[in-house]
Structure 1
Amino acid sequence: MQVISVNVGRPRPNPGKGADLTGIDKRPVNGAVAVVVPGPKGTGEVGLVGDRVYDVKHHGGTDQAVYAYAREDLDSWEADLGRSLGSGAFGENLTTAGVDVNRALIGERWQIGPDVVLEVSSPRIPCGTFQGWLQQQGWIKRFTRAALPGAYLRVIVPGQLRATDPIQILHRPDHEVTVELAFRALTLEPELLPQLSAAEALPEEARKRALRRSSTG
């Protein structure tokens, strides 16, 4: 299991709705990239130095510090879409190999390289910017049905990382709430929401939704 590419965004006009600029255009970086603990959502700060978000209402902050997507899933989408998808094509900061990102548990912790520790926090929910970036009509629905969202991660221990760094799973929590399950519950299958209450590491908003659904039965 390893990182095969570390990607940061270059500001460009937003092809979707929302902010005028977007940082979804992620490009691979050569050499080490500093990983920091960002400020809260609303500041535009994220976990990789040199990266940022512009739709500060919906992206960035502590719970969305780093976004990881598996190279294996990009390859699957390449075959499905009939087009090449380089590392960073989905706006991911980390393109991984050998990690089943969507089956990672919420709250699972990864050590990357010698010192960085990240914690799986939530799935990525597709937005208009993502659809506009890929120029695929109906992309939001298509991506949602596939339930291969990739994972947002928090920074637990900052440091530096780079392409080829190994990924080691340090901790797996004692529940069965995967990134995929959380995504399905938060999108097309709200009947699954009560199951999410077991995942204490979910962002507060998602946990509140799960608890409300549990209490109303």
Structure 2
Amino acid sequence: MDGDVGSTGNGRVVSVNVGRRVPRRRASLPSTAIDKQPVDRIDVRDPGPKRGGLGSGAVGDEIGDPRHHGGRLQAVYAYPAEDRQWWAEQIGRPIAAGAFGENLTTEGVEMTHALVGELWTVGDAVLRVEVPRIPCATFAEHMGVPRWVRRFADEGRTGAYLSVVTPGTVEVGAPVQVERPDHDIDLVTLFRAFSGEAEVMRRVVAARVIDAEVQRDLERSLARRGG
């Protein structure tokens, strides 16, 4: 990063949520903890690597499929109440806080265009914006909406996966102070790169602002495509 381009502090946490593992409809599939339920507060910490780590960065939150969820870069998932309400209007039914699997439901926090590497001070914790959410079959099954994966991907309202820079406690009502880095790679751009748009992949790789692990994965994907 070349520094930050300013701080904002108008957002807040309107719900904190944790989930417990439950069986999927098909016994052969991994269990799921996507349906998070509100609690008063959560302690957040770096859970370590995806394999062999603690799973979720939110203490008391469970991970149904640790092969694909949890770990350092997906320690805490945040989703804006504004986008949840937008989706509720699209599908014609209410969506409760935590129903998207988010640990933090926010208000007044820009998320689709959150910049990779943003630092969020929430309570006494500091979180870092890392990667967008990639919709999966578990999410689609949970929502029960036709073509949900495609619809969610097309809209680009992905929410933000966060790493934990400084552990702490996050309570309902906590303000969110955002420090933005000096580049233009936001979550929707990174999502497009993950979706295989070659020109966007090249742009993201050239910027060198994403986590080193993600950088290597995108570089390998580009190499397989012939650059």
TM-score (normalised: structure 2): 0.87
Number of matched residues? 213
Q: 1:18 to 1:62 in 2, by over 3 A?
A: farther
Matched, 1:176 2:189: no
Residue 166 (str. 1) matches residue 189 (str. 2): no
Alpha-carbon distance in 1 for matches of 2:181, 2:27: 37
CA contact (8 A) 2:131 2:160 kept: yes
Residue deviations 1:171-211 (CA, integer Å, cap 9, x gap):
3222110011111221163431112122433361x312433
Amino acid at match of 2:80: A
**Backbone CA RMSD of aligned residues:** 1.9
The superposition leaves residues 47-88 of structure 1 with CA deviations (integer Å, 9 ceiling, x where unpaired) of: 111102121111100010000000000011011000100101
Offset, 1:17: 9.1
* Unaligned residue ranges in structure 1 (runs of 5+): none
Report the 3-state secondary structure (helix = DSSP H, G, I; strand = E; otherwise coil) of the residue aligned with 1:154.
strand
The residue aligned with 1:56 is 66
**Cα pair distance change 1:109/1:18, threshold 3 Å:** farther
Equivalent positions of 1:65-214 (< 5 A) are 65-113=75-123, 115-169=124-178, 171-187=179-195, 189-197=197-205, 198-202=207-211, 204=213, 206-212=214-220, 213=222
Mapped to 1, the partners of 2:159 and 2:28 lie a distance apart of 22
- Structure 2: gaps of 5 or more residues: 1-10
Equivalent residues of 1:193, 1:210 under 8 A apart:
yes
Quick one: distance in 2 between partners of 1:48 and 1:149? 19
Q: CA deviation at 1:20?
A: 3.1
Residues 29-40 of structure 1 mapped to structure 2, 5 A cutoff: 29-30=39-40, 32-40=41-49
The one-letter code sitting in structure 2 at the alignment partner of 1:90 is F
Cα distance between partner residues in 1 of 2:74 and 2:215? 15
Q: 1:199/1:98 Cα in 2 relative to 1: closer, same or farther (>3 Å)? A: farther
> Matched residues in 2 for 1:92 and 1:19: separation?
21
Tell me, yes or no, if the aligned pair for 1:184 and 1:190 is still in contact at 8 Å.
Answer: no
Distance 1:14 1:125 in 2: 19
User: What letter is aligned with 1:76?
Assistant: W
